[in-house]
Chains A and B, each alone.
Chain A
Amino acid sequence: MTSMFSWSNRYPISIPAEILAASPAFYFLRMVEQVVVFSIPAFIFVSGYFAAFLAGRHSSKFSFKQTFLRIKGLLIPYLIWSILFLALGFVEGKSIPAVRVLSNLLIGSTTPAYYYVPLIIQLYLIAPLLIFAARKNWKILLIITGLIQILIHLPVSLTLLGIQGGVTTFLLQIPKWLFLTRLFWFSAGIVAGLHFSKLKPHLLNLNKVFGLAALFFLIFGFVEWQVFNGPLQTRETIIDWFYQISVLLFFLSLGEQQKLPFSKTFNSMSSKSFGIYLAHVPAMEITARGIYLLAPWILPNHFLFFTLIFIAGLGIPLLGMQIVFSTKLRPIYGYLFG
């Protein structure tokens, strides 16, 4: 749900900042955006944890078969939804050269959201190397990938401060689908998967510290954006990175008996998250266009518009998944929704 929420203010429902500025709807959307900034790193982290799980904590083997199965499980639904989206464009009369179609599929640019799949596939492909490094010396791995992550976020922070040009501009051009942009999170997941039981006792005592740090960096990130008048975010700053780390450490430092509210609902939803992620794009696009054409009076009512788009982005994929799952279409469920 958080991944979908994360995207839901970046599509046709995104209203120009200058129109929204200083309105309650604007601050609400900004806060939502700031809160869910940890969602993509969290998914990448879980994937890294799973890669370590597949490799086995007590063995030095790495199963390429299982890894390729995982990649296949991501790739087939991704291709189906990407092609569906391309077909929608084709029906509308858009003409895209074949080379562009291929490059769109390769880097996940068929929609702004789909870059995640090529990104995670790259990370799974380099997982053996990262697992080897994490077994040899996990601290060095986290330091190196952490420094790379700083190079990814620092230019965004510098740009907010008005510092641009040279290396900053070059680093800002690194595409989001490239594994380097999230290498730290996947590596952190691997380290957790291999060494967490050793690390957990040290983290447990710091749960409140991490919770407070997350709150501090959440507010700091919000204020940072406000003071420096940032654009609606597509990249995260250093402050956002600290927030992401604090949130993750907060969750990791929860005791085994501590349960968060609605954990059952979130667990149930998490298993459907890849399907929601893939299907929410056309669901929101079509709903937004439908509102534009059939009920344009909704558009200035930002909260109502946002609510409808949110319900459509979550509800339509869940309904579609339920229909496929409970009918004769069930054998294709895995191909459609992962």
Chain B
Amino acid sequence: METSTILHNFILDELVKGRKKTIGDDDDLLAEGIIDSLGILQLVAFIEEKFNFTVPDEDVVIENFMSVNALSKYLDQKLATKH
């Protein structure tokens, strides 16, 4: 499964919590209130477990977590470097 699909499914199932039926890959997750203070920690924990990749603290920035697209682009880059 593609990175963006995995992230999309997780965010829709665990973070959207019924607020919306769907989310677009470019939707602003922060401006729409989908990610909150604990949501960001949950998302980082999910990424670390699912992709077996530790997100460095300096990478937990708004630019990387703004949308599903931004996050999957960041992850794809990091995973490519890792492999």
List A residues at the B interface (Cβ < 8 Å).
46-47, 49-50, 53-54, 56-58, 63, 65-66, 69-70, 72-73, 196-197, 200, 256-257, 263-264, 267-268, 270-271, 273-274, 325, 330-334, 337-338
Contact = CB atoms under 8 A, between A and B. Distances in A.
Given A46-B41, A274-B38, A334 B18 contact: yes
Contacts of A53: 40, 60-62, 65
Nearest to B37: A50
Contacts of A46: 37-38, 41
Interface string B21-45: 0000000001111001111111001
Contact of B14 (A200, A256, A264, A271): A271
B36 A70 contact: yes
Contacts of A332: 18
Contacts of A267: 41-42, 45-46
**Most chain A Cβ neighbours within 10 Å, of B15, B17, B58, B65:** B17
A256 B32 CA distance: 30
Nearest to B30: A66
Nearest to B46: A267
Given A200-B57, A331-B18, 15 more contacts: A47-B37, A49-B37, A56-B61, A56-B62, A58-B63, A70-B36, A70-B37, A73-B33, A256-B57, A263-B45, A264-B49, A271-B39, A325-B17, A330-B18, A334-B19
Contact of B36 (A73, A257, A330, A331): A73
A256 B41 CA distance: 14
